[in-house]
Amino acid sequence: MSSSSVPHPIAAILVAIAIAGGIGYGIYYHLFKAPKNRARDEQALFAPYFTALSEGQIDAAWERFTTPRYKARFPLDRYRQHWEQVFAKRGRITERVLAVANDAYEVVTKRTYESVSYKLTFEHDYVLAIYQVIPDAEGNPRIDWAGRHEIASSFTAPEPW
């Protein structure tokens, strides 16, 4: 009896099912789950966050919409100085567009979060700000990390956006 180099048909079927399942979840995620996450983030977090900043309530934005981890990384004085310099140099925020909102996972720390990218247009400039969002104890989304993605670079510099 000779052996065949053709893989067993059950293995091929299992691989096809796994691929179809992955594609199906991707379609589900991008058509149903991601839009709900974006709408929740915009309404519960970013709309009031950017409104507070635009109205000059910088300290209140830091206190209300960020996590203890964020506050430790970006203390209030540094945060306030950042936003005062941004508004002095770039002007007020004229438009914001939520570009991307995806679930993310850090393998080493096993930390899960949502990675959110905003294109912030100011009167004199624009910035691609990146946020890591996690729920607080009550389930409200809060900013846990922030940075700015430089154009033509793969590096995201941590900054108190």
Q: What's the pLDDT at 118? A: 94
Q: What is the CATH number of the domain that holds 151?
A: 3.10.450
More confident residue, 114 or 22: 114
DSSP string, 3-35: PP-SPPHHHHHHHHHHHHHHHHHHHHIIIIIHH
Does the residue 116 lie in any domain? yes
Q: What's the pLDDT at 29? A: 60
Does the residue 141 lie in any domain? yes
Residue 6 has pLDDT above 90, yes or no: no
82/92 Cα distance (integer angstroms): 14
Residues 34, 27: contact at Cβ < 8 Å? no
Classify the phi-psi angles of 16: left when phi > 0, otherwise alpha if psi is within -120 to 50, otherwise beta: alpha
Q: What's the pLDDT at 149? A: 85
* Structural domain range at position 117: 9-158
Q: What's the pLDDT at 7? A: 62
Q: Which two tokens stand for residue 110?
A: 């096993």
Task: State the amino acid at position 2 in one-letter form.
Answer: S
Does the residue 1 lie in any domain? no
Structurally, how many domains does the chain consist of?
Answer: 1
More confident residue, 62 or 155: 62
Q: What's the pLDDT at 1? A: 53
pLDDT tens for 100-155 read 888 999 999 999 999 999 999 999 999 999 999 999 999 999 999 999 987 777 78
Q: What's the pLDDT at 63? A: 98
- Residue 150 phi, psi (nearest 5): -75, 140
Does the residue 3 lie in any domain? no
Does the residue 4 lie in any domain? no
